[in-house]
Amino acid sequence: MKNLKKWITSPAATLVLFAAAAVLLLFSTIGGARAAFIAYSETYQGHVEMYDIGVSLLEKSAQDKEARVVAFRNYIQNSEDDWEETPTSDHIGVLLAPDHLLAEGEEFVPGKEYQEEISVANTGTIDEYVRVTLYKYWRDENGNKVVPYGTDVRPNDLPAGMAMAAKAGDMTTYGLTPDLIKFTFPNLGSDWLLDEKNSAVTEERQVYYYNKLLPSGQDTAEVPLTGTLTVDPSITLKVTQTTSEDGKTITTSYDYDGWQFCIEATVDAVQDHNAVDAIKSAWGRDVSIAQDGRLQLK
């Protein structure tokens, strides 16, 4: 355990992932904060200049005084690279970094609520409609994302980094469902809309729309999508006890020791010009736009 804590606090670990030990159960929060965004559809290419487009994903945790940029993508006029993106090799930022989520020396505890406000900023020069997609899932002790059992796919044929549940009827990750990773949504219904139709496609994904036009240079930090994050404490109750042959020693092991919970967030933006048709073309979603600019899902 001492070696584990030493590794967690190393610079390399801080840059790559957030890990914390609680009740001898190891979790990891791997932040995939992407600004993978759809600027506009090809149908309306002539109605908007590319250099007008820009969007950023923001996060505010307990140790932050204000929302900070996690990932971004902006089009740069007359730039050789065209896009200004998150300065990492894969252009992915890190959510839930330990020095932002936790106080110094604090460990992550299942069942405890942690401040985790996810919001969006319009860093372009035109007004935009934006959406955020959240992904919640688990990985096994080998780091593999476990998918449901399927008779039409052989386990050996799965891509690297994925594993299959043991038998038909098993949960996606042997009882560890995305629902055990819980967010609160303080502004849902008033400022954000849940796309129940598209979110129902997979248990891991939920799609949310900001229901107002987001003006250039402004953000949603005052009305963030999420408010807090909690991991259900029931996972610490799943244990296995074994008794030695002489009956003198009972060993307790945690069933999910080494498992990881993972959260990813992506933000997309669509131009305000001909927004109803642009959203349909870019996101495949039927919407209506009121005179005051409010977006409604059909």
List % helix, strand, coil for the chain (3-state, nearest 5): 15, 35, 45
Q: Which residue has the tokens 């009740």?
A: 23
The per-residue pLDDT for 54 is 85
8-state DSSP, 256: T
Q: Where are the domains of the chain?
A: 29-138+179-240+265-297, 143-175
Answer yes or no: is pLDDT of 283 > 80: yes
Q: Write the pLDDT tens digit of every residue in 22-76.
A: 222 333 322 223 332 333 333 333 334 455 778 899 999 999 999 999 888 887 6
Mean pLDDT is highest, among 51-60, 208-217, 262-271, for 208-217
| pLDDT score recorded for residue 246 | 80
Task: Using alpha carbons, select from 94, 38, 30 the residue that is nearest to residue 68.
Answer: 94
Hey, which of 17-21, 157-161, 195-199, 287-291 has the most confident mean pLDDT?
287-291
CA distance linking residue 150 with residue 125, whole number of Å: 47
Average per-residue pLDDT for the chain? 74
**Which of 243, 279, 228 is CA-nearest to residue 41?**
279
Model pLDDT, residue 46: 34
Section 88-105 average pLDDT: 82
Which of 48-62, 117-131, 236-250, 268-282 shows the highest mean pLDDT?
117-131
- Confidence category of residue 150, pLDDT binned at 50, 70, 90: low
d(CA 4, CA 283): 43
Closest CA to 123 of 70, 185, 192: 70
Q: Amino acid letter at 212?
A: K
Q: Give me 135's structure tokens.
A: 């992904």
In this model, does residue 263 exceed pLDDT 50? Answer: yes
pLDDT for 227 beyond 50: yes
pTM value? Answer: 0.76
Q: What is the pLDDT of residue 222?
A: 98
Give the pLDDT band (50/70/90) at residue 214.
very high
Residues pairing with 252 in the sheet: 241
Distance of CA 88 to the CA centre of its chain: 17
